[in-house]
Structure 1
Amino acid sequence: MAENGAQREADVSLSQKLAFLAQALPGAQRIETHTAYVFVAADRVLKLKKPICFDYLDYRSLEAREHVCREEIRLNRQLAGEMYLGLVPLVCDEAGKMALGMTGRVIDWLVEMRRLPTERLLDACLRSGQSPAPAEISAVANRLIAFYRDRQADRPNPGLYLRHLRCESAVNIRNLTEMRAYLRGGYDGTTLSAGAALIDRHAAEIRARDRTRLVVEGHGDLRPEHVCLTTPPTIFDRLEFSVEMRMIDVFDEVNYLGLECALLGARWIGAQLLAAITAAGFSPPSSGLLRAYGVFRCLTRARLTIDHLRDPVPRTPEKWPLQARSYLTRAAELLAAGANG
């Protein structure tokens, strides 16, 4: 039966699905991400997962895409609330006519969301030179603080966070070394090995923070483009496909958001966020561990960006080496600051 279902699904190609959605959503902007196609209409957003397979996810089956869509909705409702409206089936009748949200043979699933004001996204504000007010960043901090306190009630997979940091550090070294030709002057093997060594040096502190519930199942990819300065703020696009990536020290996650804001010219945001969660009673890590977290995130982002060039047909291939080099430069700066301090 599963084989027949897979065959029926294969009768409708991805290009046919995309063509139908473009017709069903006239005027919608289509955005392609690494794992999905996003259709941005006047008042709502629909996301179709790509039938792809990477080391860390496999969306090739209809069942897998349904599961991950349901997980995206469940996880993001904990942080973004009513933005995530629900799951919409893409169906096809016997004549091959497709429809959204109707009865029929399901050939795919889409996540439906309310559309946010694009100009209020944190990255858009920073890129346009319209710096957010400190009160708006305080509201973001308060939203995160409440979220982290809720997550502290559970402590799944103790020890997973440190294992993930070590595993990802090894992948960073391997992949960035393999892609060094694209990085040109940005590649420095010493920076990569020093970043991994920092995690090992602070392993005991990381374990202690895990035991005291400072490691939680967080957002997993907290960047400025996932924060909208609505009232109250909306924090969305929480990682749905990997609990390993969601397990994180609250200071690691907030510091990561601060680093991304700093790369957009607003270093003060990270300092305000870290001060806010400290004032809320979350015990901060040592300065050395916070630096280790920052180096790790920079190296990981460098690896993830340059790995776009491994795709069969990379999107905007010219931009990934530049982005990767900027992250590598910031990692080297953090290491140098630690050595000098």
Structure 2
Amino acid sequence: MIQEQINSLLLDGEFPEVSIERELIETHISWVFLCHTFVYKIKKPITYSFLDFSTLEKRKEYCKREIKLNKRLTDGIYLDVVPIHRLDDHYKIGGNAGTVIDYAVRMLKMDRTKQMDRLLIQKKVTKSHIQNLAHKIAVFHGNTDIIHQKDVLDIQDKFNDLEAEKAYLATQPNGSLYAKIIGSDIKVSDYFLTGNKDLLTARLKAGFVRDCHGDLHSRNIFLLPSPQPFDCIEFNDDYRQIDVLNEVAFLCMDLDAFGEKGLSNLFLEYYNQLFPTIKSLEEHHLFVYYKAYRANVRAKVNSLRAKSAVNEKERTTTLSEVHKYLRLMESYLNTLSL
């Protein structure tokens, strides 16, 4: 689907449920419709260096994969894949009439007041929440598939992919600062990875690289009686099949970004007791590096969002996020380059 069709679906399209509630949330790779009971997620027909949703067949297949992979961590949230039809001059989700133009993942709508990022803003995330979440992730990591073959230095290209954003960011306020941080931190990253190749290889052999969630941050977690991480990466196995420490570092970096260093440390402590993954100073340094990498990813994502912003307010907001995460990345790597 294209933006014009999405707008039409939002205004007067037909949905499987009767609902006066219909809200559209847009990310850099998808459109998400929130209705009264269900949520419908549609993949954008786009191609990036890390994903390919360019054809109808690929989007359908990735919808199926999204459901299968997310069911590993959720209970009753991910339901099915539904077709989207064009009927003359309007659009309909579900049913059989019309021409299929796309597909959507149908999910049960959850209580958004329990989304972890919202609770963090309200200072309502407790030690008990963190302990329960650490237990959930540790059990998941302990049972998910072990990956035996992987290029342990592939993260270098992923980290350095931020270089592609320099040209755009250079045209924005603080552009020269952004270019300096990106250039400097890529050099530090290259040096760190080269010096720690043996450690990365040893962790692969020890079974620490597993088929994880891949996108474990607070916006992708509902803090219910049983914590519910959702929206794992389905579009690129390489981004999901990672060192468990890389996964944990994403959530801890996110907590740091919210100013919750104490909760970040607490999560790592609980998790490491249940699934020991940091046993040396070198592995702690690797954890810090992974936090820098995750800040790098968030900076890139927000740069992509800024490029596609529909108005100046949205662009300014996303650029402020770019600034925050570049600074956070820099602060982590500074501790490794001393």
Corresponding residue for residue 142 of structure 2:
149
**What is the one-letter code of the residue matched to 2:147?**
R
Cα displacement (A) at 1:146: 1.4
Q: How does 1:1-341 map to 2 (within 5 A)?
A: 13-21=5-13, 25-92=19-86, 98-104=91-97, 105-130=99-124, 132-151=125-144, 153-155=145-147, 158-160=149-151, 162-176=152-166, 179-182=169-172, 183-184=174-175, 185-187=177-179, 188=181, 189-284=183-278, 286-311=283-308, 316-340=314-338
SS of residue paired to 2:315 = coil
CA distance in 2, matches of 1:225, 1:22: 28
SS in 2 for 1:88: strand
Q: Which TM-score applies when normalising by structure 2?
A: 0.87
C-alpha distance in structure 1 between counterparts of 2:301 and 2:73, whole Å:
25
- In structure 2, what is the Cα distance between the partners aligned to 1:320 and 1:92? 34
CA shift at 1:328, angstroms?
A: 1.5
Distance 1:208 1:40, change over 3 A: same
Give the alignment's Cα RMSD to 1 decimal: 2.5
Task: Report the Cα distance in structure 1 between the residues aligned to 2:9 and 2:220, rounded to whole angstroms.
Answer: 27
1:282 Cα offset (Å) = 2.5
In the TM superposition, residue 97 of structure 1 has moved relative to its aligned partner by 5.9
- Decide which moves more: 20-29 or 120-129: 20-29
Counting matched residue pairs gives 326
**CA shift for structure 1 position 96:** 5.7
Write out per-residue CA displacement over residues 265-295 of structure 1, whole angstroms, 9 at most, x where no aligned residue. Answer: 2112221221122212433162221222122
- Report the CA distance between 1:242 and its aligned residue: 0.4
Unaligned runs of 5+ in 1: 1-8
Within 2, Cα distance between the matches of 1:22 and 1:88? 13
Q: Secondary structure at the match of 1:103?
A: coil
Q: 1:193 to 1:67 in 2, by over 3 A?
A: same
- For 2:288, the aligned partner's letter is R
How far the C-alpha of 1:122 sits from its partner, in A, is 1.0
Residue 75 of structure 1 deviates from its aligned partner by 0.7
Deviations 1:182-206 (A, max 9, x none): 3433442222311232222211111
Question: For the residues of structure 2 that align with 1:201 and 1:22, how far apart are their CA atoms?
Answer: 57
Consecutive unaligned residues in structure 2, runs of 5 or more: none
The one-letter code matched in structure 2 to 1:87 is V
- Code of the residue aligned with 2:83 in structure 1: it is P
- The alpha-carbon distance between structure 1 residues 199 and 174, as it changes in their structure 2 partners (threshold 3 A), is farther
TM-superposed CA distance for 1:337, in Å, is 2.8
Q: Is 300-309 or 256-265 further displaced after alignment? A: 300-309
Q: Supply the distance in 1 between the matched residues of 2:93 and 2:328 (Cα, whole angstroms).
A: 45
Q: Is the 8 A contact 2:249 2:294 kept in 1?
A: no
Going from structure 1 to structure 2, the CA distance change for 1:59 and 1:25 (only over 3 Å counts) comes to farther
Q: For 2:160 and 2:333, how far apart are their aligned partners in 1? A: 18
CA distance in 2, matches of 1:143, 1:281: 11
Per-residue deviation, 1:179: 2.8
Mapped to 1, the partners of 2:10 and 2:153 lie a distance apart of 39
Moved more, 329-338 or 210-219: 329-338
